[in-house]
Chain A
Amino acid sequence: AQKITQTQPGMFVQEKEAVTLDCTYDTSDPSYGLFWYKQPSSGEMIFLIYQGSYDQQNATEGRYSLNFQKARKSANLVISASQLGDSAMYFCAMREGGAAGNKLTFGGGTRVLVKP
């Protein structure tokens, strides 16, 4: 079974609009962390935002916010006021502790193209 599922392979968004990228996860570990990374065409992996499983508040970092719905096992990324530079692949990832030993498992990614 997929640990991390990103159901949107690609999407367009108009510049200055908000966009939501979906991510659902599957784990039985009570202690886990959820990450979002951006990968522009240059190829590097850029950390965007992190949400711990015990965090009470949804994480925010500038224009990025994470809509964490624990009971539904979803961790959607919201990018507000999209910019042309936001065009990239976006990956959701999960860290599980315990026996999984902190390795990050990635979803398949969502390609975002911001239109001027």
Chain B
Amino acid sequence: DARVTQTPRDKVTEMGQEVTMRCQPILGHNTVFWYRQTMMQGLELLAYFRNRAPLDDSGMPKDRFSAEMPDATLATLKIQPSEPRDSAVYFCASGLGTGPVVSGYTFGSGTRLTVV
């Protein structure tokens, strides 16, 4: 089965440190999403890319978060500097967009980030 691979699975870091999360989308998928899940806010969309170009990152705190797709097989989400309120599970999802429609979204297993 094709799957979205996220690394690391778990990350514990100290406040102020840089954190980089990685995502390998399913081969052939041209749309990549980053979501954050917390108990308080539920699942929030942070950013997403179509054909490696950022389409919407309005859900992302711009001062400390950045998302990139250096190539079609890798998406990254970086937090610098990290804060305790960033503690959450970060999901990557990929899908195939044909025209205006994305047909199906496959989620990775998530990165559980704890900032102490």
A interface residues (Cβ-Cβ under 8 A, vs B): 31, 33, 35, 37, 43-47, 50, 91, 93, 95, 97-98, 101-109
- Is A104's CB under 8 angstroms from B33's CB? yes
- Is B112's CB under 8 angstroms from A45's CB? no
- Is A108's CB under 8 angstroms from B42's CB? yes
| Chain A residues in 8 Å Cβ range of B50 | 101
Counting CB contacts under 8 A, is B15 at the interface? no
B interface residues (Cβ-Cβ under 8 A, vs A): 31, 33, 42-43, 45, 48, 50, 55-56, 89, 91, 93, 95, 97, 100-102, 104-107, 109-110, 112
Question: Once bound together, how far apart are the Cα atoms of A94 and B6, in whole Å?
Answer: 24
- Is A35's CB under 8 angstroms from B105's CB? yes
- Is B42's CB under 8 angstroms from A44's CB? no
Question: Once bound together, how far apart are the Cα atoms of A91 and B112, in whole Å?
Answer: 19
Question: Once bound together, how far apart are the Cα atoms of A91 and B107, in whole Å?
Answer: 13
- Is A102's CB under 8 angstroms from B104's CB? no
Q: Which residue of A lies closest to B101 (CB)?
A: A97
Q: Which residue of A lies closest to B41 (CB)?
A: A108
Question: Once bound together, how far apart are the Cα atoms of A43 and B93, in whole Å?
Answer: 14
| Chain B residues in 8 Å Cβ range of A43 | 89, 109-110, 112
18 further A-B pairs in the complex, CB-CB below 8 A; given A35-B105, A107-B42: A33-B101, A43-B110, A43-B112, A44-B107, A45-B91, A47-B105, A95-B105, A97-B100, A101-B50, A101-B55, A102-B95, A103-B45, A103-B48, A104-B45, A104-B105, A106-B42, A106-B43, A108-B42
